Structure 1
């Protein structure tokens, strides 16, 4: 840790490559936390937003989905633009746009205005977040990079839990009568601090051989992701109209067209948005395959537990959020131990983390079956703490694995692909596990629906644990 917290070295004409120091690392990690917190912070605020803005369930789904879809669709493009125009420049621009769109969300007079502002906020996040990993990849080396990547993974996991906790606290606090609006307005002062620090401490990096934007690839990737994520996130609330089925039918066509266009572009010597050759990188490919089910289970659980604790158990938003504090604490503690464990045991730490998480999710399922509806923090805390520790031993290591052999020149593309996979999976988790849970509630009751959903998540944990056995033992 001492190396990572060393003062930043100023770059000169003869000083060699840029170096990301302590303040710069803190700043980019702050930028990484903001979009992830904002994805989850809305969960516990949705009932209040619906009441205040007279929004239907379908529109409330769009408040979540509009952000997630825009974010996922534009992430790879954000990485490419950072490679070309400078990652620090895109980071500053994305963060400024994130602050402005957060202000627009907080001041939104109607539900549809809020949806539009959330879409723009997702686009701003897509410009900012890929620059974080790309900067770490380009401006750190050796043990310092390993430590920085571990801190990034810990930040990502904590942000997803902290978003839900912070949302409950802010809604309950009703700061200056702002109610749910505080979950967005709180971003504004944080962004101002982040911009000040980034201007002073984040070095500029970019690809040595920038390439023009791949317009056909960008359009086709956008069509593919929208055609998958939009119907899955909006379909249940909208009653599964015809457009949702047509959109799902379009997805494999658009995905195939995207692959063929990218392969042809690369064979002709161009640099496509997502070079197919990137997936010849075995650590990247295997790590991505694991991140998808992990993220689906993580986000699905966070959404379902927020609904169950508020609408099923009757907890207030703040109590529902605070119930997750032990999970955040165990995640934080285990993530601090992760780098030492990886240095000794390599990626077998991921397998161990999966087994620990499986135990935690199993304990949660048994707790729900045995205690519902008299369910609160003391009953859930053991399972939450075990699951949180297991997650912390997986996520930071997977991020390191995925980017371990990506060359610096492709850092923006590699990080964009990784975060796109993660973000798409987060959106899919809310759509799939959330839809399963809400579909089961009318017939089986909320307690059985929650327990069944946890068992489905457990199956995803078992899958990732099995897949972890195929990871390269050592991390570069």
Structure 2
């Protein structure tokens, strides 16, 4: 790989992008694929319930808190280099998970998986700004969204297939070891193909900023992920109180470093770009749907008593919509522009509210009729697929290409934080409404309330998106008026 900044469209950009998309596919795949393997892991390794939770939450927490650092490493040292280093580390971590001899060995492997995934994942999104001309970026972001959605949807299905097939008598271990041949093929084909891109202005890594950012995000993410399962002990509230203090300390340090001419992890001038802050708020509201997958599974299996395979098939219309949505985005944007993000979130709002109405009017304990259920799930998934690429473009397009790694990490971290907030807050509302027996009536009622809460968050996100687009139009029409801001 030759280190260069690409001033014009790279002739092999689409082939390069396909290689980088592996970094977008594997992290969500390995998050969802583990869910179906937990019973087999518990039986084989005799894991406790707290250890089972850590198998999932340790990966999610480490991945979320290191995404910004991973994106900035690509800016400074080269996105291709960081992609391959992350991929090789992810393969090594998968090997450790696949041959884990104890619960703690598996958790250690999952922590390493999360850290290396955070180095690998932001490079695909960052490279959209670096290697594609403006006209091709919407299509590239649409494909990125489709791959992200595909990984999220097929993770649980693939996990069930691999465990059922029991390849080479590996059982649950196959869900981790399958990453090894994928990584090997990508390295063999990708090394001679992927050309290097990096930020011209980046000087060196900001170690103090990196440490402060990691600690700051940890004080928010870890208690959100672990708090509900642990019963919200005192330390979770203490960490929440520490979070704004560390965030203030991080911001002031990065400001001082920027004024001295250094290379901050989070450039304050970039983060002050008009509309960026509101765009990130919309991202947080957009992924309030993150709790839907968990709570819908609880409803299907706890209230309707479906088995895991039957429950998985009910999700399929959502997955089809999520896959189709991003592929339609480039064509629809010709007519709607950035308003497509609001339209997509509007579809999600209607789908979730309609699903709540359908469940409320269905006899408790009975499965809703598939004719209205499948279209409602499809519309919800379609809305998410339509909104995601446009929303990501609205955020990442606010900054110069040399900071694309940083903003890719910030955007990805915002999505992870939103998911954690959704699971903690909306999931907390759901579980607080259950009775001790977790009856079908209680689960159904709690799920309807959760659906309406998610729908309300998405409706607010859609309204903010419209407001952001209108303000951007006014700013473009009157640049002198906003030049001092």
Normalised TM-score (structure 1): 0.90
Kindly state the Cα deviation for residue 181 of structure 1 after the two structures are TM-superposed: 2.7
Find the aligned partners of 2:350 and 2:7 in 1 and give their Cα distance: 50
User: C-alpha separation between the residues in 1 aligned to 2:93 and 2:7?
Assistant: 38
Alignment partner for residue 306 of structure 2, among 297, 307, 315? 315
Hey, what does 1:5 align to over in structure 2? Answer: none
Q: Does 1:464 align with 2:461?
A: yes
State the partner residue of 1:445: 442
| Residue 302 of structure 1 pairs with residue 281 of structure 2 | no
SS of the residue corresponding to residue 365 of structure 2 reads coil
Question: Counterparts of 1:431 and 1:165 in 2: how far apart (Å)?
Answer: 25
Number of equivalences: 466
Task: Indicate which of 342, 354, 360 corresponds to 1:351.
Answer: 342
Q: How big is each residue's C-alpha offset from its partner over 1:238-266, in whole Å with a ceiling of 9 and x where there is no partner?
A: 23222222222211111111111112222
Q: Does structure 2 retain, via aligned residues, the 8 Å contact 1:288–1:402?
A: yes
2-side partners of 1:91 and 1:110: how far apart? Answer: 30
1:373 counterpart residue number: 365
Q: Which consecutive residues of structure 1, in runs of 5 or more, have no partner in the other structure?
A: 1-9
Counterpart residue number, 1:455: 452
Post-superposition CA distance 1:269-302 (Å, at most 9, x none):
22211112122223433321111121232x2111
2:404 maps to: 411
* 1:66-92 superposed Cα distances (whole Å, 9 cap, x missing partner): 111111111111122111211111101
1:197-208 residue pairs with structure 2 within 5 A?
Answer: 197-208=189-200
Shift in Å at residue 399 of structure 1?
1.0
Q: Is the 8 A contact 1:77 1:416 kept in 2?
A: yes
Correspondence 1:293 to 2:285 = yes
Indicate whether 1:270 and 2:267 are aligned.
no
Deviation larger for 37-46 or 323-332: 37-46
The equivalent residue for 1:245 is 237
Match of 1:426 in 2: 419
Q: Which moved more, 1:123-132 or 1:24-33?
A: 24-33
Distance in 2, Cα, partners of 1:113 & 1:171: 20
The alignment partner of 2:198 has SS state of coil
Shift of 1:147: 1.5
In the aligned structure 1, how far is the partner of 2:297 from the partner of 2:5?
A: 53
Closer, same or farther: CA 170–368 of 1 in aligned 2, 3 Å? farther
1:86–1:205 Cα contact (<8 Å) kept: yes
Contact 1:220 1:254 (8 Å CA) reproduced: yes
Measure, in 1, the Cα distance between the counterparts of 2:179 and 2:387.
Answer: 28
Q: Tell me, yes or no, if the aligned pair for 2:80 and 2:194 is still in contact at 8 Å.
A: yes
* Structure 1 segment 20-419 matched on structure 2, within 5 A: 20-297=12-289, 299-369=290-360, 370-375=362-367, 378=370, 380-419=373-412
C-alpha displacement of 1:452: 1.8
Unaligned runs of 5+ in 2: 477-485
| Cα distance in 1 between the residues matched to 2:192 and 2:319 | 31
Question: Does the Cα contact within 8 Å between 1:153 and 1:397 map onto a contact in 2?
Answer: no
CA-based RMSD: 2.6
Structure 2 residue matching 1:206: 3-state secondary structure: coil
Displacement after TM superposition at 1:26 (Å):
1.4
Other-structure match for 1:7? none
Q: Is the 8 A contact 2:216 2:247 kept in 1?
A: yes
Alpha-carbon distance in 2 for matches of 1:67, 1:152: 22
| Structure 1 pair 423–333 and aligned structure 2 pair: CA distance change class (3 A) | same
1:336-360 per-position Cα deviation (integer Å, ceiling 9, x unaligned): 2211111221111122212211111
